[in-house]
């Protein structure tokens, strides 16, 4: 990659990294510190935030370093093998974790609206659902460390790269692996989520209001459900659009087996942007989390004003004393 392009990509990746880091840490802090903001949806947000932080702290720095090192891995031996495979593995299973969180949230909203009296009790327990999401995403991407290797090139430098020939004929394996990734991490979950939200939205926005004393209570419940579903649809749409370029580039690679470094870098940047957008969407669209966030900001603003006022009073007092002495 040429020098001007390297600098431009470094700057935009760093901006994404800062936005993601601040947003996800803030989101986790709010849910951890404020019991009022806790629900199954918020716990799924936290799972997503942890996955986004892994992308921010591991995958994005690796991508930036690759701009300057051209695939050369700084570590060797057993540690080099482990870290090389771990970084690439994290890049893949964090995508799975994000889409699984969105899928489970869609299933939860579907049952809450369409079948309100047939709740899946085990499904609504964060302590059960959290390990299921992470273990399932890791299992689905367990093929990744198999074809990631650390090899020495002709210059005696260690390179962290893919070696699809380990699994068979290279062209067929590349095609099969990337099509698998596209189906598991995008096509199948996006299709399921789209269908579930279409049914849920139709039920919510076309449901007739009951009569008499149940009207107000029912309307309040319907409005709450609509807000939650609207928020999740926006979050899901952001994920679908951010990762679409990356998924298309992988399909292109599967069909042609040709690398397009700059195009892939741009496409993956769009995907990584989802890690920066997600927490701010959650904070602004989720009423409970937004309420706690504005409360925290107002308290900090009051503290700042109080400190500024005290500092001003001290300055006035000091100035008065000096004038008296004069």
pLDDT for 115: 79
pLDDT for 304: 59
pTM attached to this predicted model: 0.80
Residue 299 covered by a domain: no
Residue 128 covered by a domain: yes
DSSP secondary structure code for residue 143 in this structure = T
The C-alpha atoms of residue 239 and residue 189 are separated, in whole angstroms, by 11
Residue 62 covered by a domain: yes
pLDDT for 269: 92
pLDDT in tens, 25-57: 999 988 888 777 777 778 888 888 999 999 899
Return the CATH number at 273.
Answer: 1.20.1070.10
pLDDT for 191: 93
Counting the structural domains of the chain, the total is: 1
pLDDT for 111: 83
Residue 325 covered by a domain: no
Q: Which residues contact 318 (CB under 8 A, 6 or more apart)?
A: none
Residue 175 covered by a domain: yes
Q: What is 199-219 written as a DSSP string? A: HHHHHHHHPPPP-TTHHHHHH
Residue 10 covered by a domain: yes
pLDDT for 311: 59
Residue-number span of the structural domain to which 165 is assigned: 3-293
pLDDT for 15: 94
Report in angstroms the alpha-carbon separations of 252 from 39, 126, 170, 259, 260. Answer: 40, 38, 15, 9, 10
Residue 182 covered by a domain: yes
Residue 304 covered by a domain: no
pLDDT for 319: 56
pLDDT beneath 50, residues of the chain: 211-213
């Amino acid at each position: 990659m040429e020098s001007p392009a390297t600098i431009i990509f470094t700057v935009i990746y760093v901006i994404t990294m800062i936005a993601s880091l601040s947003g996800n840490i803030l989101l986790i802090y709010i849910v951890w510190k404020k019991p009022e903001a806790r629900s199954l949806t918020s716990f799924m947000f936290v799972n997503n935030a942890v996955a986004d932080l892994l992308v921010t702290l591991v995958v994005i720095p690796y991508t930036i370093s690759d701009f300057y090192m051209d695939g050369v891995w700084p570590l060797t031996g057993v540690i080099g093998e482990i870290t090389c495979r771990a970084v690439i593995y994290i890049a893949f299973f964090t995508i799975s974790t994000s889409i699984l969180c969105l899928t489970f949230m869609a299933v939860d909203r579907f049952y809450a609206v369409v079948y309100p009296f047939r709740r899946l009790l085990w499904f609504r327990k964060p302590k059960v659902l959290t390990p299921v999401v992470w273990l399932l995403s890791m299992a689905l991407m367990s093929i990744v460390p198999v074809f990631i290797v650390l090899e020495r090139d002709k210059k005696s430098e260690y390179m962290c790269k893919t070696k699809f020939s380990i699994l068979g004929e290279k062209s067929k394996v590349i095609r099969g692996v990337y099509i698998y990734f596209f189906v598991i991490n995008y096509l199948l979950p996006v299709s399921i989520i789209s269908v579930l939200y279409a049914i849920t939205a139709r039920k919510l926005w076309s449901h007739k209001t009951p009569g008499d004393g149940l009207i107000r209570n029912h309307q309040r419940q319907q409005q709450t459900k609509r807000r939650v579903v609207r928020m999740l649809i926006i979050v899901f749409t952001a994920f679908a659009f951010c990762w679409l370029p990356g998924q298309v580039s992988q399909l292109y690679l599967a069909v042609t087996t040709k690398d397009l470094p700059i195009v892939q870098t741009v496409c993956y940047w769009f995907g990584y942007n989802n890690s920066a957008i997600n927490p701010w969407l959650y904070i602004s669209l989720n009423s409970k989390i937004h309420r706690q966030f504005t409360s925290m900001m107002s308290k900090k603003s009051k503290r700042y004003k109080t400190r500024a006022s005290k500092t001003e009073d001290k300055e006035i007092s000091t100035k008065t004393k000096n004038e008296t002495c004069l």
